Amino acid sequence: MISLQTKLTYADYLKTSDDERYELLNGELVMAPAPREIHQYILGRLYIEMGAFIYERDLGDVYFAPTDVALSDMDVVQPDLLFVSNERNHIITPENIQGAPDLVVEILSPATAERDRTLKLDLYARHGAHEYWIVDPDARTIMVLRRGERRFEVAGIYGAEQTARSPILEGFTFNLEGKFRRR
C-alpha cells in the first residue's frame, strides 16, 4: 500500500500559529499542550541551577522551551532545556538551533512521555546529542543518558533524594531533594 500522506518540512512548520506549541517529527506536525505545574517548577529549577553553572564558567549557552531545534528538514523539536557548548556555538542562529545540542532535557508529561522516551530519544542520538536527561515527575526520577557509539547508554538513574550528575558538564550536580514537591 502506498501512503499518500504528505510529509511536512521546516518551511511548512514555520507557517504554524504562534499561539500553539508544535513540533515536527518525521514530517508530521504534532501539537504539544501546555505543561503541568510540576513540569514548569522542575524546568525552572533546572534552568536556574544549570544556567548558573554554565554561565559562571563561560561554557556556552542554555535555552528553554519554546526554542526550535532543527535536527533535519523534517525533524524540528522544542526540548524543555538544552545546552550548546562554546565549541559548537556555530549551530546557534537567530532563528533556531541548527543541529543537536550538546545536552538535552525533556521533562515527561502525560501527553509527551511516550514520544520523549522513544522517538525523541532516537532523534537526539541519531543527530549527535552527547547527553539526554529524561525527567519523570511522577516516578520522581531523572535518567541521565550519555551517547555511546551508536545510541544512548544509561549513565545514571537518580531518585527523589539523590543528586544527579552530568557526564559532559564536569562538576555539575543537581540535588533532587525537594525538586519533585507536590502542592
For domain 34-175, give the fold: tt1808, chain A (3.90.1570)
**What residues have CB less than 8 Å from 121, skipping those under 6 apart?**
132, 134, 145, 152
Q: What is the pLDDT of residue 71?
A: 97
Q: Comparing 18 with 70, which gets the higher pLDDT? A: 70
**What residues have CB less than 8 Å from 28, skipping those under 6 apart?**
7, 8
Give me the phi and psi of 47, to 5 degrees please: -60, -45
pLDDT, tens only, 52-74: 999 999 999 999 999 999 999 99
| Cell triple for 10 | 521546516
Dist. CA 32–CA 43, nearest whole Å:
16
Q: What is the dihedral of CA 34, 158, 171, 180, to 10 degrees?
A: 40
pLDDT, tens only, 81-108: 999 999 999 999 999 999 999 999 999 9
Dist. CA 59–CA 119, nearest whole Å:
29
Cis peptide before 66 (omega within 30 of 0): yes
- Section 11-17 average pLDDT: 71
Q: What is the dihedral of CA 91, 75, 110, 31, to 10 degrees?
A: 110
Query: The cell 508530521 sits on which residue?
Result: 28
Domain boundaries, the chain: 34-175
pLDDT higher than threshold 50 for residue 1: no
Q: What percent of the chain has pLDDT over 70?
A: 92
Q: What is the pLDDT of residue 182?
A: 61
In the chain, % helix, strand, coil (3-state, to 5) comes to 25, 35, 45
pLDDT higher than threshold 80 for residue 17: no
pLDDT, tens only, 147-182: 998 899 999 999 988 999 999 999 999 999 989 876
Q: What is the pLDDT of residue 2?
A: 44
Bridge partner residues of 4 (DSSP)? none
Q: How far is CA 53 from CA 34, 63, 109, in A?
A: 28, 14, 26
Q: How far is CA 40 from CA 23, 44, 137, in A?
A: 18, 6, 11
